[in-house]
Amino acid sequence: MNIAIWLKILMPVLVIMLLVVAGDAMAAGDWKTFVKPDKEELRARLTSLQFQVTQEEGTEPPFKNEYADNHHEGIYVDVVSGEPLFSSTHKYDSGTGWPSFWQPLAPENIVEREDRRLFSTRTEVRSKHADSHLGHVFNDGPPPTGLRYCMNSAAMRFIPKEELVKEGYGEFLPIFGER
């Protein structure tokens, strides 16, 4: 059999293997080496709402989202890159219908920028590595920071405390009193 036929047979298998390995690396919390995929790949990987929120600065409906009423212990990571963003230990009920936090878990993974859309000036919150739109931060939150990070559930993935080690985020167990 000549090499061209072997390449036609093996190339799709190799591509699938690489995608599986890349997916496993992201699932294992390998967000530090994350390289953002192109729009087409993101559109294929994310739900339409996740894509609209993270890539097109959309907003999900209040009270009808996955994490506004989540009261389990764990962390919230960027749905695109897996970079850690927020912790349930900093979450509170703001009454807005969106998950709200008074501080980020990993401030180094948060980028804030001025947002002048909707006829007012707000502070947009984006993830550093994936540049995902996450939501906005306001100065009407509880002590000790006085901040309200009002996030879109569609921009995040929740990892329960019990799965942090398996998912590659074991370094965050101490915030829950675990080793």
- How is the chain classified by DSSP, letter by letter? --HHHHHHHHHHHHHHHHHHHHHHHHHTT-GGG--PPPHHHHHHHS-HHHHHHHHH---PPTTSSSSTT--SSEEEEETTT--EEEEGGGEE--SSSS-EESS-S-GGGEEEEEE-GGGS-EEEEEETTT--EEEEEES---TTTT-EEEE-GGGEEEEEGGGTTTTT-GGGGGGGT--
User: Choosing from 77, 110, 134, 150, which is the catalytic residue?
Assistant: 150
150 is catalytic: yes
Residue numbers annotated as active site: 150
